[in-house]
Structures are given as C-alpha cells and as structure tokens.
Copies of this chain bind each other. A is one copy, B any other.
Amino acid sequence: MTFNYPNGQEYRPQMLAQRKLHVSSQSRRGMSLEADINAANEYYRTQKIAVIYKKPTPVQIVDVDYPVRAAARITKAFFRQPSTTDYNGVYQGHYIDFDAKETNNLESFPLKNVHDHQVKHLKAITEQAGLAFMIIRFTRRHETYVIWADLLLEFWQNQLTGRKSIPYSTIVKFGALVPDKLQPTTPYLEAVDLLMQTKKES
C-alpha cells in the first residue's frame, strides 16, 4: 500500500532525505559565496533577524538614452573604484560591515585577494565601534569562516616584512566556522555571534 501527497505524488519516506542531499550538494557545487550570502541576507531580512544588503557596483554614468520615459537606457558608463566593502547593514542594533572572499588554496588565504581600500574601510569601521569582519571560504575544503577585521589588519600591516597570507590554522584558531545549513545555506551571523561571545569573554 502506498500513500499519496495531496498533489497525487507518491509518498516515500526517503524522499525528504534525498531532496535535502540534493539541495545541499547543488548549493555547494553551483552557488558562489556571493550568491550564498545574498540568499542568507534575504532570509535574515524576511525573518527580521538583520537588514544587510550588498552594495550596488559603483558606475560612472556618461550617456543615457530616453527613447520613452521610464525606459532610460545607459549607453556609456564606466566602472568606478569602490571605496568601501561590498556588504553592510544592521544586526540587532550592531552596525555590520564586511567583504567576502573565496580561495582555492588549502593552507592559507592570500592577502592579494584583498584591496587596500577595503582594509582602510574596515579599519575605519572598527574605530567607529562597528562590527567589521571578513568572510573567507576555503572552496576545496567546503569551509567558510568569519574573522574579525583586526586579524586581517595585523597580517596586512606585516606583509611587507612578513608572510603575504593568513595561515589556514590561524583562521581556524581565531575565526568562527559558519555551520552548514539548509536555510540559509551559509548562516554567517551564527559565526558572528560566536565571535562576539569570545570578544566579551577575553
């Protein structure tokens, strides 16, 4: 005897597990860190947990065509150098500011993935008592970490004389691992919570 869903589809106990597996492996294969974070932000906004957006790409608009009103078409524009990070917003009273980077490296996060203006901006945010951090994904390890901007700054300032990357072991030690979930797949604010707790205790 078989049971059917209201839509007529046959019920099989293992279906949900299969679907979970499917969603999860697909999200790891197909989606970039940026897409994961955008999805997390949408989830956080809907659930009223936080209001965080990715900033639009800064563009210098030169020429615009108006064939009909309300259908303006930009015909000439240039990319401008951003002066901030990609993401900011508010999380239960806290100002949040971060950038997100992926690396294929296994043993370290190369500092060449980061730009000078991003480091300067994160430093300014820290000075204003905002929560400034970096989300780093080790793609081949399927692991995503949150580290405070302070840690990044320390390595950034020493890179002329010291090493030009942050060791994986340092990120594991001082960062917080973002758990793997179904919804959202990358709940990075849970890692931020962990880091905030550590800050209070230290």
Contacts and interface: CB of A to CB of B under 8 A. Distances in A.
Interface of A: 45, 48, 50-51, 53, 55-59, 61, 72-80, 82-84, 88-97, 121, 124-125, 127-130
21 contacts: A48-B128, A51-B121, A51-B125, A51-B128, A56-B58, A56-B82, A57-B59, A72-B78, A74-B74, A74-B76, A74-B78, A75-B75, A77-B77, A88-B88, A88-B89, A91-B128, A92-B128, A93-B95, A93-B129, A93-B130, A95-B95
A125 to B, nearest CB: 6
A89 to B, nearest CB: 8
A78 B94 CA distance: 33
B124 A45 contact: yes
B72 A75 contact: no
A128 B97 contact: no
A90 B128 contact: yes
A145 to B, nearest CB: 23
Nearest to A97: B90
Nearest to A96: B95
B59 A129 contact: no
- Which among A48, A56, A121 has the highest number of chain B CB atoms within 10 Å? A56
A23 to B, nearest CB: 26
A171 to B, nearest CB: 25
B95 A94 contact: yes
B88 A59 contact: no
Given A73-B78, A88-B88, A128 B55 contact: no
A80 B59 CA distance: 13
Contacts of A74: 59, 74, 76-79
Contacts of A57: 56, 59, 61
Contact of A53 (B72, B83, B93): B83
